[in-house]
Chain A
Amino acid sequence: MSDLVFDDVTVRYGTARRPFTAVDGVSLVVPEGQVVGLVGESGSGKSTLARAAVGLAPVHSGSILLDGRPLPRRGRERPLQMVFQDPFSSLDPRMTIGESITEALPRDLSRGERRAEVARLLALVHLDPDAARTLPGRLSGGQRQRVALARALAGRPQVVIADEITSALDVSIQGAVLNLVRELQRELGLSMLFISHNLAVVRYVANHVAVMYQGRIVEQGPVSEVLVDPRHDYTRELLAAVPGARTTTAVRAGAPDTPGTPAALVKPRSTS
């Protein structure tokens, strides 16, 4: 059972005398094969939690376990991979796409196997295998983000953490990347921690959702419960602030301002 478990994790920055607690006793489970959406305002500690999981931020106390074991911090085997927010800074501008992906592949592959694997991964994210020879500078943001996804998958991870992977993208590409995330997750049975500040995006890709506020998780549960019947005030505030929520319910339908009601959520959308 490869559940990713955060157990009472605290992350502190700053000096011993003036500590700043960015993540404060967070417990969270990403069950095998499920997508957990993590939402919350900026500075609430979402990214810090993700960075702690992959070893980029120091864990002050608590533990992060995969299959009941601590995550390996040394060596090539990294069962937890991360995709970053900004597709323009997450690829080394001086390395070709192929080199970037190869770097994350297991070491024991032959040269030919590596090339084949890069081609397979690129095809998996719907990129032309010839793209392996190009530098990231020639790719669009959406294409770069797909390369970043391919690189994360190269290490054959059990869990992928996606930190705001669509917020730096154009809307016209956002849809394609979200479709891809859903498709990959279903095909590969990945577990995912999907961080986003966009509730509509989380609703679209995740099964569970956790709401983070000032370094703590204030509410978590199945998407269908949390987003329909929020218990915490902050979650309600989040729901009320979803762009379009006010327009749909208040302006367009001339109804009073009751965003986030169950009715609004189940209304089917027509594509004319």
Chain B
Amino acid sequence: MARRWLAVVRTPLGLTTGLLVTAVLLLAVVAPILWSDRAEVVDTDQILAAPSGEHWAGTDSLGRDIFFRALVASRLSLELALVATVIGVAAGLLLGAAPLLLGRRLGRLVTAGVNIAVAFPGLLLALFFAVVFGVGATGAVLAIGLAGAPSFARLVHTLVAGVAALDYVSAARVAGVGRFRVLLRHVLPNIAEPLVVNATISAGGALLAFAGLSFLGLGVQAPAYDWGRLLFEGVGMIYVNPAAALAPGLAVLLAGLAFNLFGEVVAKGLGVTTVGGIRLPAATPARSGAERRSEAAKGEHLAMAPSDLVLDVRDLRVSFPGPAGPIRPVRGVTFSVRHGEALGVVGESGSGKSLTALAVARLIEEPGRVEASRMEFRGADLRDGASAHRHLLGTSMAMVFQDPMTSFNPTRRIGGQLAEVAFHHQGMTRKQALARAVERLDAVRVPDPAKRATQYPHEFSGGMRQRAMIGMGVMGTPSLIIADEPTTALDVTVQQQVLDLLQSIRDEDDVALVLISHDVTVVGEVCDRVLVMYAGRIVEDLPADRLDGGARHPYTRALVAAVPDMDTDLDQPLAVVPGRPVDPADVPSGCAFAARCPLADARCRAEDPPLEPAGDGSQVACWHAGEPLGLDGSTGVLVEVRTP
């Protein structure tokens, strides 16, 4: 977390506003110590003087120096604003967390009350409270604090609801952990970050609001003074000395903006930065019409390129900078996909399946690096320039992602999001696009598609959301569909329908499919050919119908034996691949699978086996390909079977 804040502060705007906030805080601390005397001194000779070398902003009706008064006032102004913010946050926390603590019914009442309060303009509330609490600093602090509470309560409520819906909170409650403890231990620590950011923003707001109240004479009373009070006094003599109003006004503006902007920058920075791993972009970014037209032209050009191969990739490498040298999750992958072919890619998580797909779709973002000695899509070189090929997504190359939660925008209707693709890439009118969206939703068996199209992502069940995601992938007329774990979260019947859907699309238009999955059975059923990946390499390339029984690589065989099917012997444990996957930052020399392989010997640990043809159309990278393996009957660990 600290690193993320640091990254934000490193941006120019973050740095500027951060420094400004620090400067304002520093000023508030030192100004009264250094300049109190100069600000208080009454000089009857200099009453209402205009700005001069001696008094930069002139003097007030008692001859006091306005510039120094403005500096010294920073302490009280900030103090009041911060106290008000603390009050607002505290009250907001109480109200916002109330639904969690009080239970459904009372909680709903509180939420309703908060929603009404939010609808009132803040300043009006502040004025109301100022009248209730009486004129003066205390009243004003309470007024501004409480006026800020409803919006904080709403924020807290939303954040709490988000965290409370997560399984670990449910798990704690099922374990009998009390509500209050759940709030303290699980919820608050996990919402602290956005709260702090928003408190910073609202501190800026409180500063301005205070100036407002004091300016109206409802805030700080003489002889104490804050910026608002100075402004109030300055405006009285604005025709004599405009600087008297200008100096405190500028101070308020600068300090208020500093807090506000800093908060905004941090919020934005934390919002888009993710820790660890790459962020999948939401389907397709919207683009200008001109860009779209030029891309359409390119698309036509691509369509004419003659070749039997849809996709031809040689020696693909993907790397990311890491703390101790580059991390290489994909280390030299070579494969091709023919027209209409269905190619499966299997392997455990972290083996580089998704990155291979993302690299092909040109979706790997800085600082990731993609290298390949060849990468052609329908004869066009994919390597020259990522942006030039972005249009492929949505027209001739479709990508269906793994996680439907992050692939949809939670604030927009499903139908609209699907239609977007057709509208931007296929030149349809909005109406046509929406009709196509409904038709595609129907095709992926979303029940009552016309009604469902008007719903938001959260109104879909997990399975349905994933179906809609696939519907989005086939909005266009792609010649290659890359589907990354498209059916992982689906139950079997829907999975079957979705696979059938992909199948029918392939049959109709000779569309090629790259199906990435960790489910060997799915891949085995749908695909013609299967690539098995381990630690960023292809370790076996074989016809799908040879997976069960015909695989040669020990890893492939373990994968197949680890999944129960309807024939699995119930008295035997399932196969277990012992040990952990290879860390891409630290790939061992020799065969990457050696540490977990029952057949490994000295040669395996020293030399990395190359992927070589093994006859009958398959390729395998293993020194001991096809040697017999057995299953330990009590643990499920695969063992070498010694032949006498």
Contacts and interface: CB of A to CB of B under 8 A. Distances in A.
A260 interface: yes
A111 interface: no
A43 B492 contact: no
Contacts of B462: 42
B52 interface: no
B521 A243 contact: yes
A94 B191 CA distance: 11
Contacts of B177: 103-104
A178 B489 CA distance: 18
Given A42-B462, A170-B348, A244-B566, A238 B492 contact: yes
A68 B563 CA distance: 38
Indicate the member of B176, B490, B519, B520 with the most A CB atoms within 10 Å: B176
Contacts of B104: 58
Interface string B515-531: 00011111011000000
A230 to B, nearest CB: 13
Contact of B174 (A41, A56, A251): A56
A167 B522 CA distance: 14
Nearest to A76: B176
Interface string A205-222: 000000000000000000
Interface stretch (A4-12, A24-32, A59-67, A261-269): A261-269
Interface of A: 39-43, 51, 54-56, 58, 75-78, 80-82, 84-86, 89-95, 100, 103-104, 140-141, 148, 151, 154-155, 167-168, 170-176, 178-179, 182, 197-201, 203-204, 227, 237-238, 240-248, 251-252, 260, 264-265, 267-269, 271-272
A23 B310 CA distance: 47
Contact of B636 (A175, A197, A237, A252): A175
B15 interface: no
Given A78-B176, A90-B168, A248-B567, A175 B525 contact: no
Given A81-B174, A141-B349, A197 B522 contact: no
Contacts of A175: 561-564, 573-577, 636
List the 4 closest A-B pairs by CB distance, nearest first. Answer: A42-B463, A197-B491, A175-B574, A175-B562
A248 B568 CA distance: 13
Interface of B: 104, 166-168, 170-177, 185-186, 189-190, 348-349, 461-464, 488-496, 518-522, 524-525, 545, 548-549, 557-559, 561-570, 572-577, 580-581, 628-631, 635-636
Contact of A167 (B489, B545, B564, B581): B489
A20 B567 CA distance: 39
A201 B519 CA distance: 13
A250 to B, nearest CB: 10
Given A78-B176, A237-B493, A203 B525 contact: no
Contacts of B629: 271-272
A222 B361 CA distance: 48
A172 B549 contact: no
Contacts of A84: 167, 170-171
B631 A148 contact: no
Given A55-B173, A94-B189, A42 B567 contact: no
Given A42-B490, A176-B636, A246-B525, A199 B518 contact: no
Contact of A265 (B348, B521, B524, B566): B566
A170 B567 contact: no
A94 B190 contact: yes
Indicate the member of A80, A91, A198 with the most B CB atoms within 10 Å: A198
Contacts of A199: 492, 566
A103 B172 contact: yes
A197 B464 contact: no
A254 B92 CA distance: 68
18 contacts: A41-B494, A55-B173, A76-B176, A89-B167, A92-B186, A93-B190, A95-B185, A103-B185, A154-B175, A170-B348, A171-B518, A200-B564, A200-B566, A241-B496, A244-B521, A244-B548, A265-B566, A269-B565
Given A78-B174, A90-B167, A272-B629, A171 B576 contact: no
Contacts of A269: 565, 567-569
Contact of A176 (B175, B565, B570, B576): B576
A81 to B, nearest CB: 6
Contact of A172 (B175, B464, B548, B559): B559
Contact of A252 (B167, B464, B545, B630): B545
Given A141-B349, A260-B566, 4 more contacts: A56-B170, A78-B175, A197-B490, A252-B545
Contacts of B562: 171-172, 174-176
A135 to B, nearest CB: 12
Contacts of B628: 272
A179 B573 contact: yes
A228 to B, nearest CB: 10
Nearest to B275: A137
B41 to A, nearest CB: 53
